[in-house]
Amino acid sequence: MVLLNMYGKIEPITISKKLGVSICNPAPDWVKGLQEDFMEEILINNHKISSFKQSGIDVSWAVGRYDLQNIVEQLGWQEDGKNNMQIIAEHLIEIQVSDFESSLLQMKNENMDSPTCEPQYTRKFLNFCCKVQSSRNAKKVVPKQIPFSTYNSDDLQKEPLIINYLQAMLHPHPAHKVTVSDYTQGGINALTKIGELIDDFLVTDKDFWLFDYIINALFSDEELNSYHVFKTMSLIEMLIINPKGNGKTAGEIEFKLPQFLSDRIPQKDGVLFSQIMRKLRNKIAHGDFEAVQQLLELYRQAFMQNFRFDEFEYSIENWTYMDICLRLDEALNEILWFMLSDKEKLNTLQMS
């Protein structure tokens, strides 16, 4: 099970028909199991608060944090004959592959969508949607945020924080204040819109395998380092470089990549940025660490002149990699949005 930071009673909603992905409230057996997770979460919280008190730490911020009755009343979820834990569990929303038998996922594994030793497919799907929606062009069409996962039943090492996330929704930051119901509706709209675009994109078997390759490559990659640079640049090249060029990208990457760069890279410097990225990707691939260091220095001189390097947090090298990775991720997100929103134009760009 993968829960989202959206809440309320809903009818099952199809997100992607071709991938069999939908969102819904938990089934009755899960409602019972989730209440056990709530009890575990409350016990862990009480233990932490007790430890803080013994250490003389002010815990006034925690007063009422796990008052389930108050949460239910604030949200207007009261129901006769049901305890607060059951009510909250029934108002959670999960994302699942509900129609595997009719989905394209059968092409990859005819037995199940998520083999037991692999990450759940819905987590990878959600991660992809989040990256696509974060592009500046996507926000013009899909303004509401893609929800994030608050609970993964396969992660046995992580303590449950389901109530914690729900409680946070009741006290949002003033700059992002929105009701729980409005946030939920916005998240549903965003998911269904991107799901529709994905379904429109998935026309041929080749489309499916390309999509599957991308969502697997993007998943669970939090390290902003040389390997992230290599992988992201490889994905960018796969999507915009003419496959008939026999692997030669010089000149072509400098011509095509700048149009996808964020405003953080001045337009006049787009070609230089793209040139450095092309060379950096190749030098990382060939293990030429001396050339890599020269290119990182060139990047710092060109794009990080006013950057404050705090070497108590990260080395200068890692600060550089992080800045590069963020810029490349922004560009890749724009390309992925372009891929979903106008596949033909992306194909034309690729073949040009």
Are 120 and 159 in a shared domain?
Answer: yes
Contact 153, 27 (CB under 8 A): no
Are 138 and 245 in a shared domain?
Answer: no
User: Looking at the domain assignment, is residue 33 inside a domain?
Assistant: yes
By CB neighbour count within 10 A (0-12 exposed, 13-18 middle, 19+ buried), where does 171 fall?
Answer: exposed
Q: Does residue 133 sit in helix, strand or coil?
A: helix
- Both tokens of 76, joined, read 């207007």
pLDDT of 143: 86
Are 173 and 262 in a shared domain?
Answer: no
pLDDT of 63: 85
DSSP string, 300-326: HHHH-TT----TTTS-HHHHHHHHHHH
- Average pLDDT by stretches of 10, the chain with 352 residues: 96 98 97 95 93 91 89 95 97 97 95 92 97 94 92 89 92 74 95 97 97 94 90 96 80 93 91 97 96 97 93 95 96 97 94 88
Are 51 and 101 in a shared domain?
Answer: yes
Q: Does residue 135 sit in helix, strand or coil?
A: coil
User: Looking at the domain assignment, is residue 285 inside a domain?
Assistant: yes
Are 229 and 190 in a shared domain?
Answer: no
Q: Which domain holds residue 85?
A: 2-196
Are 132 and 61 in a shared domain?
Answer: yes
User: Looking at the domain assignment, is residue 255 inside a domain?
Assistant: yes
Q: Domain count of the chain? A: 2
Within 8 A by CB and 6+ apart from 242, the residues are 252, 350, 351, 352
Are 187 and 97 in a shared domain?
Answer: yes
pLDDT of 174: 65
pTM of the complete model = 0.92
Tell me the C-alpha distance between 142 and 140, whole Å.
6
